[in-house]
Amino acid sequence: MPDFSFIFAQSISGLTAAMFLFLIAAGLSLIFGVLRVLNFAHGTFYMLGAYAAFQFMQWLGPGRGRFWLAALGAAAAIALLGGLVERFLFRHLYGAEELYQLLFTYALVLVLGDAAKMLWGTQQKSVSAPPELGGKALSLFGATIPYYNLFIILLGPVIALGFWLTLQRTRAGRFIRAAALDRETLGALGVNVDALYTWVFVLASFLGGLGGALISPMRATTPGMDTEIIVEAFVVVVIGGLGSFWGTFFGALIYGQVLSFGILFFPRFSIFAVFALMAAVLILRPWGLLGRPLK
Amino acid sequence: MHRRTLLILALVLLLPLAAEAQKPIKVGMPMPLSGPPALFGDPASKGAQMYVEEINAKGGVLGRKLELLVRDSKADANEAVRQARELILKDNVEFLVGTLTSAEGPAVSVVAKENKIVFIAPIPKTDQLTAPDKLHPYIFRVASNTTIEGRSAAEIVAKWPVTRVATMSFDYAYGQDVTKAFVEHLKKVKPGVEIVDQQWPKLGEQDYNPFINAQMAKKPEAIFSSIWGGFFVTYSKQAKALGVFDAIKYHFIGVGEAATPETTKSMGADYPVGIWGNSYDAFYWGETAAHKDYVARLSKYLKDEYPSSWAIQGYIGMQFLAEAIKKANSTDSDKVAKALLNLTVETPVGPLTIREKDHQANRGQLYGKTVKDAKYPFAIMKPVTYVDPTKFMD
ipTM value for the complex: 0.82
Residues near A232 by beta carbon (within 8 Å), at least 6 away in sequence: A21, A24, A255
Distance CA(A187)–CA(A185), nearest Å, equals 5
In this complex, do B241 and A137 lie within 8 Å of one another by their Cβ atoms? yes
- Name beta bridge partners: B302: none
Interface test with B, best of A126, A231, A260, A275 (most B CBs within 10 A): A126
Residue in chain A nearest B37 by alpha carbon: A122
Phi, psi of B169 (to 5 degrees): -145, 155
Q: Do B229 and A124 touch (CB under 8 A)?
A: yes
Residues of A in contact with B36 (CB under 8 A): 124, 222-225
User: Distance from first CA to last CA of chain B, Å, rounded?
Assistant: 69
Q: Look at the alpha carbons of B42, B43, B47, B49 in this order and tell me if their dihedral is positive or negative.
A: positive
Which listed CATH number (3.40.50.150, 3.40.50.300, 3.40.50.2300, 3.30.2270.10) goes with B147-279+365-392?
Answer: 3.40.50.2300
Neighbour count for residue A110 (Cβ, 10 Å): 12
pLDDT of residue B16: 53
* pTM given for the model: 0.84
- The residues near B317 (Cβ < 8 Å, ≥ 6 apart) are B48, B97, B98, B120, B121, B122, B142
Low-confidence ranges of chain A (pLDDT < 70): 1-2, 267-270, 294-295
CA distance B322 to B336: 9
Q: Is the CB of residue A214 less than 8 Å away from at least one CB of chain B?
A: no
**Helix, coil or strand: residue B367:** strand
Least Cα distance to B107 among B91, B132, B124 occurs for B124
From the CA atom positions of chain B, what is the Rg in Å?
Answer: 22
Domain map (residue ranges) of chain B: 7-144+291-353, 147-279+365-392
Q: Would you give the DSSP letter of residue B128?
A: G
Give the A:B interface size as CB pairs under 8 Å: 114
Distance from the A207 Cα atom to the nearest Cα atom in chain B, whole angstroms: 19
Q: Does A10 contact B at CB distance below 8 Å?
A: yes
Q: Does the domain formed by B7-144+291-353 have CATH 3.40.50.2000?
A: no
Q: Which of B33, B202, B240 sits opposite A271 (nearest CB)?
A: B202
Q: Which residue of B has its CA nearest to A217?
A: B237
Model pLDDT, residue B17: 53
Among the partner residues A2, A125, A137, nearest to B217 by beta-carbon distance: A2
Same fold, B7-144+291-353 and B147-279+365-392: yes
- CB B234 to CB A220 under 8 A? yes
| CB contacts, 8 Å: A225 with chain B | 36, 206
Interface of A with B in 115-134 (CB under 8 A): 117, 122-126, 128-129, 134
pLDDT tens-digit profile, chain B (394 residues): 466 666 566 555 555 555 555 789 999 999 998 777 888 899 999 999 999 999 999 999 999 999 999 999 988 899 999 999 999 999 999 999 999 988 899 999 999 999 999 999 999 998 889 999 999 999 999 999 999 999 999 999 999 999 999 999 998 889 999 999 999 999 999 999 999 999 999 888 888 999 999 999 999 999 999 998 888 999 999 999 999 999 999 999 999 999 999 889 888 888 999 999 999 999 999 879 999 999 999 999 999 999 999 999 999 999 999 999 999 999 999 999 999 999 999 999 999 999 999 999 999 999 999 999 999 989 999 999 999 998 888 8
Are residues B281 and B249 in contact, defined by beta-carbon separation less than 8 angstroms? Answer: no
**Residue B227 · residue B255 · CB < 8 Å:** no
- Interface contact flag, A124 B266, Cβ < 8 Å: yes
Nearest alpha-carbon partner for B145 in B163, B128, B164, B162? B128
Q: pLDDT at position A2, please?
A: 64
